Chains A and B, each alone.
Chain A
Amino acid sequence: MNKFIPFAIFCAISLALYVGLSLNPSNIPSELINDPVPEFALTEVGSDTASFSSETLATEEDVIIMNFFASWCAPCYVEHPFLMELKNRGYKIYGVAYKDRARNITRFLEEQGNPYTQVGADENGRVGIEFGVYGMPETYIIKNGIIKYKHIGPILEMQFEDEFIPILESAR
């Protein structure tokens, strides 16, 4: 037996572990990249008709940002001011309030500001599951009804520059 084999195997393991340090194991990528958005129809917060649907996104001309949030989610409060800024920069953002009551959403938006073009109320969380959402907040980039990118966790300024802008630009 070549006595160096254990050492070689160990080197390979170390290398993998080193690479592993920069990976986030709890970050599960979307299965739906480059797929059309799953079909859904949500009532808008404060209305009874299903006016926010997959159709809305498919007919949207701009590249848009779709943000799943909830008033019960602490990181969403961290993220919110930045969403407001994105709105001011001219990005179009759709919101889905995940497993939240209309009253709480309204108050959340009154207090924190409303960056969304439309806010759908996903009360039972089914639309979230259709999208493969598993934590709050999560954000998608969608063009012509096709999902281009998914981000898990609150968006921070630096990540927006690094991850979102290239995709937003290329999709334009």
Chain B
Amino acid sequence: MRIIATFICFFAMSLAALAVGVDEGRLTDPAQEARAQDIMKQLRCLVCQNESIVDSNAALAKDLRMIVRERITLGDSDQQVLDFMTSRYGDWVLLKPPFEGATIVLWFSPLILLLVGFYVVYRNLKKQKFITTAEPLSRDEQARLKELLTEADDC
């Protein structure tokens, strides 16, 4: 029941999210508006899932966009605006996870996994010994070569 109820609630909100509007009250200074847009792109929309608030027309996203603009006109730095948002909604609103504590594992995962991968490959290939000197074809290989050559004729 609760699931259904929440679903209705979110659904009602996301309906509006799809309409395309243009914000009134955009900042007149293009540099400031660009900064605001940049910050908005980093903030996750709370009611529409996996979109930034820039892309959403949900009422809450609109309100949050206005807050971003207000704070910029008040002279906040980008970080201060993001901090305000996280103080209300937590790290959840940051599309880019913060680089601290437990998320360091996340940020380094490509490198770690790549190194582990290289190690595994190295160990496995060492076991089967790379060939380093030229060696004549083995009997098997000669047979295989013959097979391949006759096969090419079939085609």
Contact = CB atoms under 8 A, between A and B. Distances in A.
Interface of A: 1, 26, 28-29, 31-32, 73-75, 78, 99, 124-126, 129-132, 134-136, 152-154, 156, 159
A135 B48 CA distance: 11
B12 A74 contact: yes
Contacts of B59: 99, 125
Given A75-B8, A153-B6, 4 more contacts: A1-B124, A28-B92, A134-B46, A159-B2
Contacts, number: 65
A130 to B, nearest CB: 7
Nearest to A159: B2
Nearest to A72: B12
Interface in B1-51: 1-2, 5-6, 8-10, 12-13, 46-47, 49
27 contacts: A1-B123, A1-B124, A26-B6, A28-B46, A28-B90, A28-B92, A31-B87, A31-B90, A73-B9, A73-B12, A74-B9, A78-B5, A124-B63, A125-B59, A125-B60, A126-B63, A129-B64, A129-B88, A131-B88, A132-B88, A134-B60, A135-B10, A152-B6, A153-B2, A153-B5, A154-B5, A156-B2
A132 B68 CA distance: 15
A29 B64 CA distance: 18
A135 B13 contact: yes
B118 interface: no
B90 A129 contact: no
Main secondary structure of the interface of B (DSSP, over half): helix
Interface string B104-131: 0000000000000000100110000000
B89 A31 contact: yes
Contacts of A28: 46, 89-90, 92
A136 B89 contact: no
Contacts of B89: 28, 31, 132, 134
Interface of B: 1-2, 5-6, 8-10, 12-13, 46-47, 49, 59-60, 63-64, 67, 86-90, 92, 120, 123-124
A74 B13 CA distance: 11
A1 B120 contact: yes
A158 to B, nearest CB: 9
A125 B63 contact: yes
Contacts of A130: 88
A82 to B, nearest CB: 12
A135 B5 CA distance: 11
B88 A136 contact: no
B88 A135 contact: no
A44 to B, nearest CB: 22
A110 B92 CA distance: 38
